Structure 1
Amino acid sequence: MGILGWIILGLIAGAIAKAITPGRDPGGILVTMLLGIVGAVLGGFLGSALLGVGLGGFFSLSTWLLAIVGSVIVLAIYHLVRSRGHRAHG
């Protein structure tokens, strides 16, 4: 899958992750898109490294699940970092 495929996958996975992650999202649509792309890459890396699951093509279920899980992880970390920053300044 090329870079354009990763970007599209990340955008969609980020939107899905935002929809299933509880709480108010501290970032806007641009932040969500970037986090989705990072999450898709992270999910692919973790799937390969920890589970031995190779990434399939764009339409592979394992690719989508790994991208969504990666996006949820990145979004959760972002929520933690942002909430700590607000408490420290609030």
Structure 2
Amino acid sequence: MWSIIVAIVIGFIAGLIARAIHPGNDKAGFIMTTVLGIAGSLVATFAGRALGLYSEGSAAGFIASVIGAIIILFIYNMVTKKKTV
């Protein structure tokens, strides 16, 4: 349980950093950026556990969370991108 809480807190910070690092004009607001960061952190945690990088009770590191948040933010921008005619 504690590892999920740590992943959420780290994800919050990672989302803000990912937004600053990711190029382009993001239309996502503060709450969406936070949610994407938390999702990136949780994805990095569970992917790391599946790959054997983290033990069962540990959360992803900060750098992995930022990378996960950037990937989620990139996918989010690809999905919500509007085509201009």
SS in structure 1 of the partner of residue 27 of structure 2: coil
| More moved, 30-39 vs 40-49 | 40-49
8 Å contact from structure 2 (residues 7, 45) kept in 1: no
Percent identity between the aligned chains? 39
Partner residue in 2 for 1:54: 54
Partner residue in 2 for 1:26: 27
TM-score, normalised with respect to structure 1: 0.78
Partner residue in 1 for 2:38: 37
Partner residue in 1 for 2:65: 67
Q: Is the aligned partner of 1:82 residue 2:80?
A: yes
Length, aligned pairs only: 83
Supply the RMSD in Å over aligned alpha carbons: 2.2
* Counterpart-to-counterpart distance in 2, 1:57 and 1:43: 11
TM-score, normalised with respect to structure 2: 0.82
* Counterpart-to-counterpart distance in 1, 2:72 and 2:37: 8
8 Å contact from structure 1 (residues 17, 68) kept in 2: yes
Q: What is the deviation of 1:57?
A: 5.7
Q: Which runs of 5+ in 1 are unaligned?
A: none
Point out 4+ residue stretches in structure 1 off by more than 4 angstroms.
55-58
